Chain A
Amino acid sequence: MKNNDKNYEINIVHMYPDLLNLYGDKGNIACMEKRLMWRNIKANVKSCTNKDGSVDFKNTDIIFLGGGSDREQEIVCRMLLEKKDEIRDYVEDGGVLVAVCGGYQLLGKYYKTKDTKIEGLSVLDIYTEAGENRLISNVVLSCDKLSKPIVGFENHAGRTYIGDHTPLGKVVYGNGNTGESGYEGVIYKNVVATYLHGPIFPKNPQLCDYILSCALKKKYEDFSGLAPLDDELENKANEYIVSTFKEN
């Protein structure tokens, strides 16, 4: 089960977990961390917080940006805008960035509600507008890059219009980006952005491993793939969500 003894090491930065912590996002961090550790790859997790907002982008391999309440998201947005250029350079250089829910919206040009328009990081050429009702559901996606479906839970008022970007997956069950487009999320360079929490990684080990591989590939030229893990439990949790839709 161990990967190799090449002393691989991955640096993960969790952006503002003190503010963006709405949907069990720390499960995504734990999942990446464990799946690296189980393969003998060292995982260093650092939090960028309200108190200590420094990020060493050059030595960061994975950035995770989660979701928060509207109020907290606005606070984060102000702080992130100060790092706007660095984050864009990081992404354009192939840095791995995972954004969930509110974090996904923040990557776009703006988020427009009835009475305000919040400027985003413009990392992606997308924008979000608040809809009348919230889209709340379990979700199943099919994704070209993975053999198993991606499952998760969505809970968002925003409708995200992704323009020419490639979606993360096609909606099999649930709502997705706008509730109408039939697609969910965005995948761009080494950025994966999605509305799905749950948290998303534990029930989608293939997606987690895809992210980890992207980071390892970028960092180590001799990286030749991840050793397999026993994912029986992960797959059962994944299959359970799919089965609830098949029964109905």
Chain B
Amino acid sequence: MRKLLAVWVAKLASVAGKLVGKKSSSTPGVIAMKICPSLISSLKKNITKGVIVTCGTNGKTTTNNLLNTALKKSGYTTICNDLGANMLGGVATTFAMACNIFGKFKADYAVLEVDEASARRVFKYIKPDVMVITNLFRDQLDRYGEIDKTIEFLNEAIDMSDGVKLVLNGDDPLLKQFGDGREAYYFGISEQVLPQVDETKEGRFCAKCGGEQEYNYFHYSQLGDYYCPHCGNKRPDINFPATNVDLSESMKFTVGSDNIDVNYRGFYNIYNILAVYASLNVLGVKTENFNNILSDYKPQIGRMELIKIGNKPCILNLAKNPAGFNQAIQTVLLDKRKKDVIVAINDLANDGRDVSWLWDVDFDKLSEANLNTLTTTGIRLYDISLRFKYADVKVDNITSNMKEAIKKCVENSDSEVCYVLVNYTALFSTQTTMLGLQGEIGGDSDEK
């Protein structure tokens, strides 16, 4: 009875939230768990085939939602926290929303993205059959603490999950420790693709012996074909390797007997696709029309999202941490068109109050990006402007008015494309602004 009440209240709270325009989908679940703490555990029997959880600093939402789409297209029913609410409350919301008014639902799979620090709390109620870890990068040190802490949390969560099959990024030296002694499958990019540049690396030092690791080649941050010359620890054998990577036009690579060919932007999407491919294989789900599934997938907002305003293609991208921002910049650099770039940095609680990570981003590379204009905005507009000043990149416009900034770029005939790079709390408002301008000026949207 408490369960039923919890489900109803959650549904009501969700409707009320939508009415006041709140996009958060964790509050209803938080309330529901207060009414019925066993909500998730008592509903998990409705899932017949399995629970798949995705963790990791970057790529969680894309991997999770892409996997969900692939399962649905393969004929399975799923429940999924596809809006990205990935703490206990968000997971509870997903379960409550799936229920009919009698508190019941039927699904083959639960497909859940879970925040690294929340996994041990979520697993108290529901254990994963398959757990994907995409990567570990430094992220909001003031919220999460050092990366060693995150590793501790994840170990605790995995220890709670007897018999879990792990799907791990084999290129990330920080992840191999989770697979040792457990059933683990690795994906990775098994050839050198990008020019080798020196970035601030996490996990430079061997997880086993503390010695400095070396690389046969690396992709970005600490991801690559690593080995430790001191103790012999090295990148694990890769079960799902990407080879023949070609990013010159679309995104092409080979994995297993499949040739992937999709119109995705961003090198990191190779990892997201590999993670999904590996998970489907581990689940035993056939992946015959994988390319079609990938092409049909609608990314979440702000993942290199194309919004055309008038005749100007504007691309909105979310980047929350140095690894994410460096990848966004890498993607901007691959686009040779004359471009306007807008960077918005906020420091609200969900962004992390500490903006020192801006200095770990290789912003100086933007000077090679065929820039027409560069604009800085957001709550910490002066900090990001300073960052550019000390990187010798000229900022043309410092403004707290995002709408005016975008409008200026749209009306500017000297550029062919406009990139808007934002961190978390600026994302939704910026998308609303861009769609509003599209309504005023015209244009169409086509995410990918």
A-B pairs with CB below 8 Å: how many? 84
A199 at the interface (CB under 8 A from B): yes
One of A30, A31, A197, A233 near B385 (C-beta < 8 A): A233
Nearest A residue (CB) for B138:
A22
Contact A72–B205 (Cβ < 8 Å): yes
Number of interface residues of B (CB under 8 A): 29
Contact A23–B389 (Cβ < 8 Å): no
- Please, how many angstroms separate the alpha-carbon atoms of A97 and B89 in the complex? 48
> Closest CB-CB distance, A33 to chain B, in whole Å?
9
One of A24, A236, A240 near B359 (C-beta < 8 A): A24
Contact with A along B143-170 (1 / 0, CB 8 A): 0011110000000000000000000000
B252 at the interface (CB under 8 A from A): no
**A233-B382, A233-B386 given as contacts; is B146 within 8 A of A22 (CB)?**
yes
**A23-B354, A197-B356 given as contacts; is B382 within 8 A of A69 (CB)?**
no
Contact A153–B148 (Cβ < 8 Å): no
Interface size class of A (residues with CB under 8 A): 35 or more
A202 at the interface (CB under 8 A from B): yes
One of A25, A72, A155, A234 near B354 (C-beta < 8 A): A155
Contact A155–B142 (Cβ < 8 Å): yes
Nearest B residue (CB) for A51:
B212
Interface centre among A19, A75, A155, by most B CB within 10 Å? A155
A237 at the interface (CB under 8 A from B): yes
B261 at the interface (CB under 8 A from A): no
A198 at the interface (CB under 8 A from B): yes
B298 at the interface (CB under 8 A from A): no
> Closest CB-CB distance, B352 to chain A, in whole Å?
10
**A22-B146, A51-B212, A72-B205 given as contacts; is B382 within 8 A of A240 (CB)?**
yes
A246 at the interface (CB under 8 A from B): no
> Closest CB-CB distance, A242 to chain B, in whole Å?
12
Contact A24–B212 (Cβ < 8 Å): no
B47 at the interface (CB under 8 A from A): no
Nearest A residue (CB) for B207:
A71
> Closest CB-CB distance, B231 to chain A, in whole Å?
15
Contact A203–B383 (Cβ < 8 Å): yes
In the bound complex, residues from chain A placing their C-beta under 8 Å from that of B212 are 18, 50-51
Contact A27–B359 (Cβ < 8 Å): yes
- Please, how many angstroms separate the alpha-carbon atoms of A31 and B212 in the complex? 28
**A72-B205, A134-B145, A136-B142 given as contacts; is B386 within 8 A of A153 (CB)?**
no
Contact A138–B386 (Cβ < 8 Å): no
Contact A69–B147 (Cβ < 8 Å): yes
Nearest A residue (CB) for B392:
A34
One of A21, A30, A70 near B390 (C-beta < 8 A): A30
Query: Which residues of chain B have a CB within 8 Å of any CB of chain A?
Result: 138, 141-142, 145-148, 200, 204-205, 210, 212, 353-360, 380, 382-383, 385-387, 389-391
Selected A-B contacts with CB under 8 Å, 12 pairs: A18-B212, A21-B360, A26-B359, A27-B356, A50-B212, A70-B148, A136-B354, A153-B355, A202-B387, A203-B386, A237-B383, A240-B382
